[in-house]
Amino acid sequence: MRTILFVCTGNTCRSPMAEAIARNLLDKGSVDGVSERVFVASAGTHASAGSPISGEAAAALRRNGIEHDGLSRHLTAAMIRRADLVLGMTSGHVAAARALVDADPDQAAKIHPMDEHGDIDDPIGLGRQAYDRLAAQFAELLPKRIAELLRPT
């Protein structure tokens, strides 16, 4: 089984939303070229372990027919080493993940920005529309990004 790890700051908004949407897309077979089972997880560079997903993030997911009840986890080097693909929400998250594995070339090669064109904005405090836009952004980005970066073994 392959593993995708999404990384943000607090692991209560962006990365758990990406995790839930990616899991939904993969379960539906909506990612071209990925037919095997994939384990999807998320963590935060500054997460307090055990915090629930934000209410706004959970509501945005529910509006898209997706349930998610995970708790936040702090990003560790071991998580990165176990993953086949690590997607950071910002260039800072990518750099923090690479720093955890001491820029090991094999590990660094699997750490990428979620959006190759720029950072994914944090929706915290910006209301329902920001969370709904983020869910739509993930639904559009994830199939392409996963298919492109989750290389066959």
Which one from 2, 13, 14, 23 is the annotated catalytic residue? 14
Rounded to two decimals, the pTM is 0.94
Q: Which residues contact 118 (CB under 8 A, 6 or more apart)?
A: none
In sequence order, the 6+-apart residues with CB closer than 8 A to the CB of 124 are 10, 12, 13, 54, 56
- Mean local confidence (pLDDT), 125-135: 93
Catalytic residue among 84, 115, 121, 122: 122
From 2, 8, 23, 98, the catalytic residue:
8
Residue 43: pLDDT over 70? yes
Strand 2-8 with 38-44, pairing: parallel
On the question of pLDDT at 151 being above 70, the answer is: no
Distance spanning both ends of the chain, measured CA to CA: 10
Summarize the confidence of residues 137-146 as an average pLDDT.
95
- Name which residue leads in pLDDT, 102 or 111: 111
Average pLDDT over residues 86-111: 93
Q: Which of 41, 133, 124 is nearest to 87 (CA)?
A: 41
Residue 122 is a catalytic residue: yes
Structural Rg of the chain based on CA atoms: 14
Cα angle at 95 between 99 and 26, to 5 degrees?
105
User: Which region among 14-18, 105-109, 112-116 has the lowest average model confidence (pLDDT)?
Assistant: 105-109
Mean per-residue pLDDT, 113-133:
93
Q: Is 14 a catalytic residue?
A: yes
Report, at the CATH architecture level, how domain 2-149 is classified: 3-Layer(aba) Sandwich (3.40)
pLDDT value of residue 104: 84
Per-residue pLDDT, averaged over 102-113, amounts to 90
pLDDT at 29 over 90: no
Q: What is the 3-state secondary structure (H, E, C) of 95-153?
A: HHHHHHCCCCHHHHCCEEECCCCCCCCCCCCCCHHHHHHHHHHHHHHHHHHHHHHCCCC
